[in-house]
Structure 1
Amino acid sequence: MINNRRSFLKNMGLAGASLAVIPSTLAAQSELNTESLTRLYSGVAEDETIRIGLIGAGGMGTADTKTALEVKNTELLAVCDLYDGRLEEAKERWGSGIYVTKDYKDILKRDDIDVVIIGTPDHWHKQISVDALKAGKHVYCEKPMIHSVEEGHEIIKAWKKSGKVYMVGSQGLSSLGNEKAKELLAAGAIGELNYAEGFWARNSPMGAWQYPIPEDASPQTVDWEKFIANTTDRPFDAMRFFRWRNYLDYGTGMSGDLFVHLFSSLHFITNSLGPTQVAAMGGLRYWEDGREVPDVLLGMFDYPNTKEHPAFNLSLRCNFVDGTSGSTYLKLVGSEGSMDVEWEKVTLKRNANAASDDPFLAEKSREADGRAGRKKMQAPLETVYTAQKGYKGAHFDHFSNFFNAIRNNGKVVEDPIFGFRAAAPALLCNNSYRQNKFISWDPVNMKVV
């Protein structure tokens, strides 16, 4: 790894310019590098239409499909959901000619569908993924790609056998912010990484998974038996169907929904395979609505020294009772500075006391010190990189990467192996919380120790 200031300056084309990390000619507000966006579209067969089937037309599945259809030459042919109202909405949104069904296997049987988007509750991700790959479909599966750690290797095996493209939907991974942070870390902008932290907060009923329940919700409009077919048999419960994230049979709690985004970004930026130790604690502090998962959760993780990065620690926090109306960030801290990473913005902060290893600059600094009271030239200690106006966002980039890989027989970063390594430590937080103990994880072989 490149960890020193001289290497950083040289990589940025600034070696010997001054003690500045970023010279004054690059104003404190700088634009993110857009080279990666151009790279996405090279070699794409513009006249080839990719035909899509959506499985799970709730909030995220619908949002995914809207974004997917913004990419040129894509078409939605079919929608599957277990609630009549969503199938009706799909026809209103995308046209009465859309094929609708309550059985996802009807979509997998169709030869005219190339790709399926899986936006179902978490407990169906694994089975539908495996069935779709076996049916010869490319798969975009919402995060986390698994409901339990035990399911990961089955998806990986099916994916390798299929020869298809499988992408996990942690869309922030493909952001300009993550790409810039990765570049800056590799260039030694913050020195040697030793700590990272992430925070995800919300303060609204919808943000705490208090999703609206339709007035017509009933066993007549919802195929409840299919919903619970692979889990505990229970009488129809509209709360469990429409607010499924609150229940362990179907969801993966705060860590599976939100920590997994932070793991995905962190692992991309650092080239990490994951932590070796996981610990979590938290509690149900406010949303006492029958949910089975905490609304405040803290996670701690130990990352070992590897060829990709030095040893460092990670702390993650999630709060659904945040009185400040919520915030989200990922911070990387090193020996010479830190970075606050957002999907469209990176704030680089440098340590004013970090010494230069350039002998010329060091000598000039000593000369200046010898003249009593004379001030020095000082570089900005904080530099902000922002996406150019018109940037379509991480969600669009993620789907662009996915479709580009399909059209060019390529690969994506967030494949099932990457997705499993991001999901596993998140889901192990739930185990640690419920079992009140540290859990050891082997990120190389992807198994609990």
Structure 2
Amino acid sequence: MTTTPSTAVSESSAPPPHLAGNFAPVADELTAYDLPVTGTVPPELTGWYVRNGPNPQDADSPHWFFGDGMVHGVRLEGGRARSYRNRWIRTSTFVDGIRGVDAQGRRNLAAGVANTHIVRHAGRTLALVESSFPYEIDCRPGHELETVGPHDFGGRLTTNMTAHPKTCPTTGELHFFGYGGSEPPYLTYHRADAAGELVISRPLDVPAATMMHDFHLTARHVIFMDLPMVHDRNRAGMPYSWDPEYGARLGVLRRDDPHGEVRWLAIDPCYVFHSLNAHDDGEHRIVLYVSRYAALDGRATPYLWRWTIDLASGTVAEEQIDDHLGEFPRMDDRLAGQPARFGHVTAAEGPGTGAIPGALLRYDLQTGAVARYGFGSGRTPSEAAFAPADDRPGGPGWLITYVYDAATDTSDLVILDAEDIAAGPVATVSLPSRVPYGFHGNWLPDPAE
């Protein structure tokens, strides 16, 4: 019997989902100037839009979360898209192959991939990953997004740092935490003042090391999420396992008593990567908005939920806001921790989810109305950051995102009017390279003279 050899790629030889399609890394660092624009770049926008994400330099990594960090930045100025550049973050892991744990099991907090977020505080722009120290990068006008080096707050930071710190718009303080480790304390709360000096580091008592990606800040409280993704040292790759028997709870700490009692309140088992916002509602209530998964077992999808903490009764009311799938919730960060009327969520595919129609959604958290813009077949947005149009918190502004076009294997920077996203882009900037799917970014306006 004669057989014909198959020319099909076997399932085992295909790349894993987090290295396929637009999850695959790009190979080169590029710089390009005077980018083509369709529409009009708002002339008020002067600064950088910078987004971070995993881009393994050897084109391989065991999990989407583990690739070397690469920032992609577009400079807007004078109604023009002046330049684009992408740069790997030169961590010690990237440069010298140094890993976060040595052969003796000791942690090296200066080693990491710095691949998750970009934030600015006290004049520093920090690339963050939750397993290590942040790395400072240079976003000054005329600079190339170069890596400055690790930042440990003058030697005061002795834990890793979350990728989702919160800046209080009233005090200018930066609130954050570090989690993990093989021994207690598994969680430490930190606070830096408006000048960037680390002034509080307070260990918190939790029963196990759980994956705590984000948390909440209000004018009077810090709220932690102790959820059932529990550290599992025997698990290959991602060292956390979904364990609903662990339970789920919210921990409330008063900002004016940072070394005081943490009140832990039970909620239904679930997982949250990202919070939208939180605020105090009277003396005894706290309202939180989250992108919530019913489980983190490979099947659940995220939806926007509202949690209302009643400190008087010690209970939490939980309600799903609607049935639109969405992640990467963002808002006008000048209202962080305060009542904010609007929030924005991205609908897009993740590794292994299959095709999901790419869209941005704008939630009116007062009326419940939802505005939507769909990008069309094969066009997928990343997280959309808010860029204010003026100095009024909660006022007009723009949403800025990278959008991948599968038909052309290219990416654009897209700008939408946040108050009328259904009208579609006000400007689309053509980029010289595709931008792989990544995590978080920010609009970084030039500092005032």
TM over 0.5: no
Give TM-score, length-normalised by structure 1.
0.31
Task: Select the structure with the greater relative contact order (CA < 8 A; seq sep ≥ 6).
Answer: 1
More strand by share: 2
Q: Which has the larger radius of gyration?
A: 1
